[in-house]
Structure 1
Amino acid sequence: MTIPNWITLSRLLGLPIILYGLHQASSTWHWACFAIFLLAASTDWLDGYLARKLNQVSELGKFLDPLVDKLLILIPLLALIENQTVPAWGVCLILFRELAIAGWRVNQTSITGANIWGKLKTVTQITAVGLLIAPLSGEWSIAALGCFWASVVITLISGVIYVYPSDSSS
């Protein structure tokens, strides 16, 4: 097991705390969840950087990284459904895209890396979940929901572009 793979798996450690904290009425707990989420999300960049820098890119890492990324986004979103912060159907659209692309990848002979839309999807999802977790005032809550819906749209667009990439050779 490589250092980058351990870092990838470390992202999972914060999820039980986030789930517990999001069910507490205390804004202190929600700020703690926000901090843990941002720390975990920041390791996504770190594990990829170290894998390339240390020449430790592995098949296990290629499998684990996107799986853990999906859990890091979807598990807090499920708790936010339960808290009635976001509608279930919006989260289901994200979940559908993620499962569809995971299924699509299983049948591919080679896995392509994330394009700009995939990276934008990740950034908007992390931003949306972070804003939704943070105990923000009214106008910020509206911005957080707007960011959530933007992430849903970008998630769907990135899925379509992943399956049907434009042919730049024509």
Structure 2
Amino acid sequence: MNIANKITVSRVILIPIFLIFFLIPWSFGNITIWHAVIPVQDFIAAIIFIVASCTDWLDGYYARKLNLVTNFGKFLDPLADKLLVMSAFVPLVGFDVIPSWMVIVILAREFAVTGLRLVAVEGGEVIAASQMAKWKTATQMIALILLLFHNIPFGEEGFPLADIFLWIAVVLTILSGGEYFYKNRDILLKSK
């Protein structure tokens, strides 16, 4: 296994560690950031999520720089992204932090694109992540990081930056899903 794929695997390994801090009620006290009081366990969970999110960029960097692009990496990288993002989105719905319909739209797109990828694999093809899908993932991760930090208000008026990134992520989710199906429509037509 090459270094890029090892970094991707590390992202998957960080998910349960993130969830342990995010979901189990520890009593480590609180920390104050920009007038927002955040439980230390949520702060630690957010840092773990940031580290895991950074591995997404790092594995891609090494894969391109060292020419380590593999079918395993093309398959595991987007899967690791989905697992990481969903491990944060689903509990945030449960905590009533974000509307469930947004996560349903995101989940539906992920299942649909994963299904498309499975059909492609049956035909011997691998569908790599598109540029728009990479932006979608980045905006989702930024929104989640801000939400994990309790949507710390920015500026004098408490500008809800996490909410804006979340809306952008939902729009990019829909657009990138449409893009995948449009660009790969021949795969679906061949599978009839």
Q: Output the TM-score relative to the length of structure 2.
A: 0.77
Aligned CA-pair RMSD: 2.1
Residue type of the alignment partner of 2:43: W
Structure 1 counterpart of 2:16: 16
Distance, in Å, in 2 between the alignment partners of 1:144 and 1:151 is 10
Distance, in Å, in 2 between the alignment partners of 1:30 and 1:111 is 37
Distance, in Å, in 1 between the alignment partners of 2:72 and 2:130 is 21
Greater length-normalized contact order (CA 8 Å, ≥ 6 residues apart): 1
1:48 Cα deviation from its structure 2 partner: 1.5
Residue type of the alignment partner of 1:35: I
Which 10-residue stretch deviates more, 19-28 or 49-58? 19-28
Distance, in Å, in 1 between the alignment partners of 2:67 and 2:152 is 45
Structure 2 counterpart of 1:2: 2
CA distance 1:116–1:59, change in 2 (3 Å): closer
Residue type of the alignment partner of 1:69: D
Q: How many residue pairs end up in the alignment?
A: 165
1:143 Cα deviation from its structure 2 partner: 2.6
Structure 2 counterpart of 1:75: 87
Identity %: 40
Specify which of 115, 119, 128 is matched with residue 130 of structure 2.
Answer: 115
Structure 2 counterpart of 1:168: none
Residue type of the alignment partner of 1:7: I
Distance, in Å, in 1 between the alignment partners of 2:63 and 2:139 is 24
Structure label with greater radius of gyration:
2
Any gaps of 5 or more consecutive residues in structure 2?
31-37, 184-192
Distance, in Å, in 2 between the alignment partners of 1:93 and 1:21 is 26
Matched residue of 1:84: which SS?
A: coil
1:163 aligns with 2:175: no
Which 10-residue stretch deviates more, 27-36 or 93-102? 27-36
Structure 1 counterpart of 2:170: 152
